[in-house]
Every structure is written in C-alpha cells, then in structure tokens.
Amino acid sequence: MNKYIFVTGGVCSSLGKGIAASSLGSLLECRKLRIRFIKADPYINVDPGTMSPYQHGEVYVTADGAETDLDLGNYERFSSVPLTRANSMTTGQVYQTVIQKEREGRYLGRTVQVIPHITDEIKSRIFAIGESPDVDVTIVEIGGTVGDIESIPFIEAARQFRHDIGRENVAYVHLTLVPEVAGGEFKTKPTQHSVKVLRELGIQPDILLCRATVELTDSMKKKIALFTNVDDNAVISAHDITTTIYEIPLVYHKQNLDKIAIEKLNIKNADNIDLSQWEGVVNSFKNATQIVKIALVGKYIHLNDTYKSIVEAIFHASIANNVKVEVIKIDSEELEKIGNDENEIKKIFKGISGVLVPGGFGQRGVTGMIQAVKYVRENNIPYFGICLGMQIMVIEYARNIIGFEKANSTEFSHDSPYPVISLLEEQIDTKLYGGTMKLGNSDTKLIHDTKIFDVYKEEVITERHRHRYEFSNKYRDAFKDAGFIISGYTLDESLVESVEWPDHKWGIGVQYHPEFKSKPFSPHPLFVQFVKASKENAK
C-alpha cells in the first residue's frame, strides 16, 4: 500500500509549509524512497497565473506548461521529483471539473454536494499521483491556515484518507507558530489552539513542526506535546537558521523527523540515509569568503517571494563558484525618478559586479530598467536578461545604438513607430489572460561561436517559457546590421530565443526562464557563468 503524508498549517500563513514539506520529502528521498508532491491551494482561481506577484509571489512553471504555486519550485529544488500540472490542485480546478461533470449528467440526477462530490474529486486527484507503482510516499501540502473556510474541503478529504486506506498508511504533519512576546517569552497557546481547531475537523496530528525564532527547549516541547496529544519526540523545533534554507533538512534530520515519519507509516527497509549532498551544500556556503554583489533590477522587489526561483538559482551558482552572492534589489521605479542623471545612477550601481533584469508584465518601471541596461552595457558590467529582461535589451539597443528613438514593445506602447517587441499574430485578438501565453518546455537552437553556445555546449537545448510578447522579426536585419547578436532561435527559426551584446564581457538575454531548472546540486549553467563573470568583474 502506498503511503501519504498531509502537511497543514496553523496560527498564520507564510510559515513555510512548502519548505517543510520539501525538506521532509528530501529526507525520505535520501532514504531511497520514491516520493511525489501535491500542492492543494484553497483559492478559487484556476491557477495563480493571473494573480499579482504582490498577492502570490512568483508563478512557477512546470515542464508541461502549468502555472503553479511557488512551492512547486521548492519541491523541484529539494528533490529529483518530476512535476506536472497534476501535482498542483486548486479549489477553482476542482469545482470547475465537478460542475462540468454535473452539466454532462454524470452524477445521474443526484444533488451535487461538497461531501461526497467535491471531496471525492480531491481524493481522486491525489490517488492519481499517489497510487502509481513507482511511488512510495506522496506528500500533500494543503495551503492556507487551518480554520479558514476555504480549506475545509481539503482538510475533510485528508481526514477521509485515513478512514479509506488505513491508519498505518497516512500521517498528518501540522506546522504552527510559537511566537515571542514582550519580554522574550515564547507562547505555546497559539499552537495549542491551532491543534484544537484541527482536531475539531477530525484530524489528530502525528507530528508538529513548531516555527520559532530560536530552538525550542525540551520543556517547551513537552508542554506542547501534553496539551496537543502528540508524542514528545514528535514535537519538532522548526527554528530560524542563519545559513541557508538548504540546511533545514539537516536540522529536521537531527531531530529525527524522517525517522518518526517512516515509523508512523510503518515503512520498512528505509533505515539507511545519505545526506552528503546536503552537507556539501551547507559546507560550501559556510566556507566561501569572497562576496560578489549582484543587482536584481525589477518592479516587484518589495516582496521576497516574487523572484524566488531567480534568487535561488543565483545562490546555486554561487556554490558552484565558491563565492557568497549578495543580491542587491533595486526598484526600477526609483531609477525612473532619477531620470538620466548619470552620477546618481553611478552611485546606485557602485560596487555592483553584475546585473540581472528578470521577467515581468506591464509598463510600470520599464523606463528604469532601460536606464539600468544602458548603464550596464556602456560600462561593460556582466548582464543577464530573462524574458522581459531580454526584451529590455532589445528596446535599449534599438533606441541608443540603431537610432530607433521611440522603439518600444506593443505591451507598453501601441503607437510606437518601431515596435521591436510585439504580440504574435494569433494572440492579438484573444480576450483571455490565464494560460494563453507560451508556457512550458520548448526547444531552442543555439548559434555556434556565441557566448550562450559556449555556456551550454549543445546545439539544441530545452527550457521552460512563460511569455506572450516576442522579438519582432521584421527588425532582425536592422539589429544584425548594427552588430546585435541573435544567438538562439526556435527550431524553425521563426522566433528569436536569445540575444547578446557584441564586444561585451557578458551580456546575454534569453526569452525563456532558466531559473526554473536550477537546483542546488545541479545549478543552471547560465547562472553559473553569469556569477562567474560577475566574480571576475569584482576582482
């Protein structure tokens, strides 16, 4: 019988359920167990693709083109598990499917209700992943906070699992907060109440992960165990760490989280564990001494999760280069306020060894990005443009080198005489925004004797996309005549995929999102070479 672990959260949101689930999964994988992840999000949106980054953080794209919660990025970075759209589930998707079945008459005239029809649909989606013959343990993270009305159908479905397949095949992990109040005292009462709410919904947690700023004492753990009916050894301190999130699996293993989990699930033949990869990552971080400052110029920098995968990919590359990267976030809207004052721009970028402009949508902050890219190009600073960051390269070059003074993207200006970035013809009349972009894996053909070919050392590569606007083909010759290097195309050469600056240390822009494929044990080569160029520039 395949095993299931349900991860819930209490007290408040954003405690780190995704990192907790990912860390537990990584430990089980280190015990040679075959794992899978599912994220269940209670919101009614079909997916996060149309949400503001300030609402939801980054949108993570799977290989098959699903726009998903950023926690799926954590799952992929912490494990070797392949993810598809089936690993992401929302209330919107569930209700959409159930309503469609009702319209087709598949419920044979019965009244359609939350129980059993919604909960059955939730369970069927989980079983579709978990009952695969190549899976041992499926970890299901339920988004939101216990007590929210939106998450109740998912909690109920999780409760039914133990009833359906047996106590020894299901475990419940609950993540809570132990806050520090005035005077430095830590309070366990919020955790007690959170477990009380969960028990009222029919679930007694097997393991508690208690978030706190410092490691919990044994006496605090015993008190929590007593009032929540959880075994003493199953109360785990999920305290803040000062190194890297990739030390969290080691912190949990030290407290026997993975051992307790396999005992609760009655899993045999999983006693041996190899944590050398995680120990290597942490040691590399601790031993690096050189600091390299890289500027991240974007419009959503005030929320840490907005560029989650990019920041993590930079960190992975820092390990490969034996440096510590300090990511300096620069608000492109603040750059706009400076205007063309070169002295002020120079002050902002003082000490910066590399600059990255990430993806994004909308006109806000674009002028500031163009100013940053112009400064970086003219001062020979390593530059990496991703999606919008590549398009900004194209616009800036058109304006300041080719002489197309009012060049722009049709996303920002429909009246530009030089729309060097524009929509594909088949997308011009669409009225939909969700799921209508170029999404997921697509092949790119790289041109020999270019910097990007030297990075990949392959003629055809596969990367994930999430964009709607493209390099306008009618301007290709004008760019080439001006020395601009088009270094990658789609296989049929109908679309531009990557570009480079001539006579520059390292200036590469790509239309795709390489950050989605980077892992701590296998950093993406583009990020590795960008950080390497920044490291050399820092010297």
Give the residue among 334, 393, 328, 335 at the shortest CA–CA distance from 359.
Answer: 393
Catalytic residue among 117, 253, 467, 513, which? Answer: 513
Catalytic residue among 58, 67, 247, 515, which? Answer: 515
Active-site residue flag, 253: no
Rounded to 5 degrees, what angle do the CA atoms 377, 452, 308 make?
A: 75
Task: State the Cα–Cα distance between residues 252 and 414, nearest whole angstrom.
Answer: 53
Signed CA dihedral, 508, 511, 513, 517: sign only: negative
Assigned token pair, 26: 């990584």
Across the chain, how many H-helices and E-strands are there?
A: 19, 23
Task: State the Cα–Cα distance between residues 324 and 185, nearest whole angstrom.
Answer: 34
- Strand, helix or coil at 430? coil
- Strand, helix or coil at 523? coil
Catalytic residue among 387, 470, 500, 524, which? Answer: 387
Active-site residue flag, 30: no
Task: State the Cα–Cα distance between residues 80 and 427, nearest whole angstrom.
Answer: 35
Which helix (H) or strand (E) is 507 found in, with range?
strand 507-510
What DSSP assignment string belongs to 58-94?
PPEE-TT--EE-THHHHHHHHS-----GGGEEEHHHH
Residue type at position 27: L
Half-sphere exposure of 255 (CA within 13 A, CB side): 24
Active-site residue flag, 326: no
- Strand, helix or coil at 331? strand
Residues that are catalytic: 387, 513, 515
